[in-house]
């Protein structure tokens, strides 16, 4: 009997990932997060064990067990879960984003911009090239969503690299 539970952001991520994979263990979810939404929306892996269980209580997913080996828990969407996901996707989303950037925060409070720029530039160049590699390997098949998201993510990275690059001492970090 499904108890009433609130669907949080984490819930929707789990529902979304399950809809993409059909069926997954918490460990699978953890791997999927790391390779996909984890790039911009991080969550502790412990949540990926707790949340599916919570969703099961609410009737949004079913919990079965691997017949063999470790008998790990396998989750997949119920009809209710799929509907909840689709309802969420259809809802209007006027909220702006939240950019939790420690470097930006420190910059605001007066940290030395060159010192920040130097390390941030390395980090974001790294990220940017990761994303570009992913984009380059895009198959023709499959849903567009993830690639569109990656496109926006890439633009943000590009912008960020540009910003920090303008604030490094010429020659201090380059090539």
Whole-angstrom distance, CA of residue 142 vs CA of residue 134: 14
Residue closer to a copy of itself by CB (options 1, 92) is 92
Q: How many of the chain's residues bind a copy of itself (CB under 8 A)? A: 60
Residues between 63 and 102 with contacts to DNA, criterion CB under 7 A: 69-70, 72-73
14 binds, among a copy of itself, DNA, none (CB under 5 to 8 A by kind): none
Shortest distance in whole angstroms from residue 109 CB to DNA: 15
Whole-angstrom distance, CA of residue 20 vs CA of residue 175: 40
Cβ neighbours of residue 20 closer than 8 Å, sequence gap 6 or more: 32
Out of 26, 116, 161, 168, the only residue in the binding site for a copy of itself (CB under 8 A) is 116
Tokens of 54: 């919570």
Whole-angstrom distance, CA of residue 2 vs CA of residue 85: 17
Q: Contact, 52 vs 63, CB < 8 A?
A: yes
Angle at alpha carbon of residue 69, lines to 80 and 11, rounded to 5° = 25
85 binds, among a copy of itself, DNA, none (CB under 5 to 8 A by kind): a copy of itself
In the chain the first and final C-alpha atoms are separated, in Å, by 61
Binding region for a copy of itself (CB under 8 A): 9, 12-13, 16, 19-20, 36-37, 40-42, 85, 88-90, 92-113, 115-116, 119-120, 122-124, 127, 143, 145-146, 148-149, 151-153, 155-156, 159-160, 162-163, 167
Binding region for DNA (CB under 7 A): 5-6, 8-11, 25-28, 42-47, 49-51, 54, 69-70, 72-73
């Amino acid at each position: 009997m499904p108890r009433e539970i609130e669907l949080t952001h984490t819930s929707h991520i789990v529902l979304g990932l399950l809809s993409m994979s059909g069926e997954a263990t918490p460990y699978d979810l953890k791997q999927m997060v790391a390779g996909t939404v984890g790039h911009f929306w991080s969550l502790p892996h412990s949540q990926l064990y707790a949340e599916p269980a919570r969703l099961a209580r609410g009737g949004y997913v079913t919990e079965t067990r691997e017949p063999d080996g470790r008998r790990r828990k396998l989750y997949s969407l119920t009809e209710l879960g799929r509907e909840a996901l689709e309802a969420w996707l259809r809802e209007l989303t006027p909220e702006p984003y939240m950019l939790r950037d420690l470097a930006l925060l420190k910059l605001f409070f007066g940290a030395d911009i060159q010192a920040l720029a130097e390390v941030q530039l390395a980090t974001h160049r790294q990220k940017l090239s990761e994303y570009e590699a992913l984009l380059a390997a895009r198959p023709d098949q499959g849903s567009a969503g993830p690639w569109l998201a990656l496109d926006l993510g890439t633009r943000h990275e590009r912008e960020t690299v540009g910003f920090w690059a303008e604030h490094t001492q010429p020659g201090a970090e380059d090539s």
